[in-house]
Amino acid sequence: MLEMSRNFCELSKLYTNHFDVIRADTPALLDRVYEIRYQVYCLENAFEDPAQNHGGREIDTDDDRAAHVLLIHRESGEAAGTARVIFPERQRPLPVERILDPVGQRLFRRLPAQTTGEVSRFAVSKAFRRRRGEDRYADVGDSAPRALAEQRVMPFITFGLLRGIVGTCLQSGLTHTTAVMEPPLIRLLKRFGLDFQSVGGLVEYHGVRQPCVARLHDLIDHARCERNSLWLYAKDEVSRHRDHSLGRVLARPV
């Protein structure tokens, strides 16, 4: 167990050496976010209509109430991936609410409306992932030779986006997060100790998807108890927001 913990710590340090996760809060950074989304959602997958997204940028009506994170490859400066957290607004339902079945709608109404957000537009650049079937989320695989240290962290490329999402949710005071995910992403998150619960049944939305929800406290607490590689990488992000009410509960020393 001690040896495994050391390996996880080493992996976390290696990851930080090669990748940085930042908030995309300037026009220039947001442009990079929208460019990756256009590549993944309009060109590689027919999720969104390229004709409706001009200038090679994918933008929708929920971007104005969302916080965006951007994963940067330190050596090249390239944007490796992006994701966003949509915040609740009284007069605007979250996107997930528009596609829930009746059972899901009843379950969703039990959630705290003012502190429930939605994670979406989770995308990794084609140059930074395996070109293999369903593995759109995890991991890299271009053919260029890489240093051994960088090769070790590539299968964990989504760590940066997950860390950015957690930090954004904590900083914003969200208690619950929802998402509409396909099975490969749900399996990936479970590997990292992030267990989302189904809200209603499967829906047809960019393919077959499962609306899910999780209490932020439970996600972080479970990852902390497992002391896996994701937790050892993300725990500093949790501690950084300990002054918030949720962060104070979750950021206990390990």
CB atoms within 10 A of CB 121: 22
Q: Which two tokens stand for residue 46?
A: 């027919």
pLDDT number for residue 103: 95
Domains of the chain: 2-17+83-250 (3.40.630)
Q: Give the residue among 166, 134, 189, 179 at the shortest CA–CA distance from 246.
A: 166
With b for 16 or more beta-carbon neighbours within 10 A and e for fewer, the 191-223 pattern comes to ebbbebeebbeebebeeebbbbbbbbeebbebb
Name 89's bridge partners: 92
> For the packed helices 158-171 and 216-226, what is the interaxial angle rounded to 10 degrees?
130
For the chain, 254 residues long, the average pLDDT of each consecutive 10-residue run is 54 80 96 96 92 95 97 91 96 94 95 96 82 41 47 70 90 95 83 88 91 91 76 72 46 37
pLDDT number for residue 2: 44
pLDDT number for residue 150: 57
pLDDT number for residue 139: 41
pLDDT number for residue 143: 39
Q: Which two tokens stand for residue 140?
A: 């890299």
pLDDT number for residue 152: 58
